[in-house]
Amino acid sequence: MHLYGSIGHRSASQGQTGAETLDAARPSLPPVALHAECPAVSMVTTRDDGDTATASDAGAGRRLRVFFLPSFARGHLIPQTDLACLMAAARPGEVEATMVVTPANAALIAPTVARAAAAGHAVRVLRHPFPDVGLGDGVECLATAPAQDAWRVYRAMELVQTSHESLLREHRPDAIVSDVPFWWTTVVAAELGVPRLTFHPVGVFPQLAMNNLFKMRADIIRMSSAPGTVVSVPSLPGKEITIPVSELPSFLVQDDHLSKSWEQIKAFQLAGFGVIVNTFVDLELPYCEEFSRVDARRAYFVGPLAQPSCSTVHRGGDSDVDCLSWLSTKPSRSVVFVCFGSWAHFSATQSRELALGLEASNQPFLWVVRSDASQWAPEGWEQRVAGRGMVVRGWAPQVAVLGHPSVGAFLTHCGWNSVLEAASAGVPVLTWPLVFEQFINERLVTGVAAFGARVWEGGTRGERAGEAETAVPAVAIARAVAGFMERGAQRDGVEASARDLAGRARAAVGENGSSWRDIHRLIDDLVQARASGLPEERPIKA
């Protein structure tokens, strides 16, 4: 999902500023079993004077206070919360992590903050108002906004600048970790004399590809008028990567807000202290090495932040837990999990083709559809597939589902979180990218890491109107799903690759693994920066 910049400039009133609440995000939740490997967090209690008290106040002044500023999308909010919890758990008593979020987004992460309160790790929530952009009460992220109002969420990401700057100057944290579109935090951090790190929920492979393609943007625009034009990604290590112009992100093909702000965003990223990426080195070699060389002063590869061993059915919102019980009635590795993220909006025509394709595949499936989806299946379809298929409306516990032994394949839009979670769980992937960098992620899945295959090879794909086929037909979906689940050389190959990646992901986050080391290196670097002052910063070139 792209959140590098706003996609709209329509009028919206300025958001409120100055009103904030420190709280412990303590909902009434059923007990959740904890795994020993899971990052744990503590509750903090709110005093009458607005200060917070943790499980132990001893030495609280010596804690490294890190503020985390996620953008307004679950795919960014959830992994950044995982990161905050992980840093607090890595050094209990040394790190205090604060999530700076709006009220409705605070509710989404409350279960994650609450689930390991007894561990005594210092994680807290600092709430600020969501900017007034004409959305309904409680609509504060892309997952809950109607498709036609997505631009309002992007507009809110611009208007929140004033609130962010005010809160950071008031609370003066020791370090700031902020999402990509909040480039202005680099300026505030420099003013406060503290490190600012960019958090990337998207892997380094797509980032490098987009960076390098942006340098040849003029050539891409010139070639875009010729149907079927394919470009090779320049200066990318490893095997050659080619992609049709129709599958490139729109900012590379036409002028928009992101095309105008891309260089500015990258300049502020490079001027900052460093970059944190939700990936692990073994998934993206040699791209991590190249990224460290060209795109960050310091690079920390800390993923996968969501491991199946520490999943919770309430991570990221209220989930349908019945689907896990349903999965337990199915044979091992037999179910196709179908989910296109929290933001995708399929047309009614495409949804019906997908429904018919899943029916015709004759494979067990678990399909997640948006809660606001309508006319998504033909009449009588649910009755015909009853028992073999299950539909979840709204939010599903994806990490828990992918970790279930009955899941044998994942039909996905190739959002980075989904790619990473599938690799971590060792689940082979069927790719159906929809927007932005997802077509680039697909190349990593199918061509580089080789733990997946495309759903459809038969038509033009892309995110821009008029360039893509109107719908992927049911017969193609049925053929791809059934073929992917059959035993054979292709299936054996992707399963072997998926199992290998799962083992490497576990090793990365285990003690002395690459991601484990980078988390501790990150904390050490921030502690040293606080003690000795920031090293000379690169000049910011807006």
**Strand 299-301 versus strand 274-277 pairing type:** parallel
76 is catalytic: yes
Q: Which of 2, 76, 128, 413 is catalytic?
A: 76
Q: Which of 23, 82, 174, 179 is catalytic?
A: 179
E strand map for 155-298: 175-179, 196-200, 230-232, 242-244, 274-277
Determine contact, residues 197/176, Cβ cutoff 8 Å: yes
199: left (phi over 0), alpha (psi -120 to 50) or beta: beta
Which neighbouring-strand residues pair with 336?
Answer: 365, 409
Please tell me whether the peptide bond between 539 and the residue prior to it is cis, using omega within 30 degrees of 0.
Answer: no
Phi, psi values for residue 199, rounded to 5°: -100, 125
500 is catalytic: no
- Is residue 344 packed enough to be buried (19+ CB in 10 Å), middle (13-18) or exposed (0-12)? middle
First to last CA, the chain: 24
Q: What is the DSSP letter of 21?
A: E
Helices marked H in 149-244: 150-159, 161-171, 185-192, 204-215, 217-223
Tokens 């060792």 belong to residue: 426
Phi, psi values for residue 386, rounded to 5°: -55, 135
Residue type (1 letter), 238: G
Residue 353: in which H helix or E strand, if any? Answer: helix 348-361
3-state SS, residue 409: strand
Please tell me whether the peptide bond between 31 and the residue prior to it is cis, using omega within 30 degrees of 0.
Answer: no
Q: Please give the Cα distance from 70 to 128 (Å, whole number).
A: 12
Q: Which residues are catalytic?
A: 76, 179
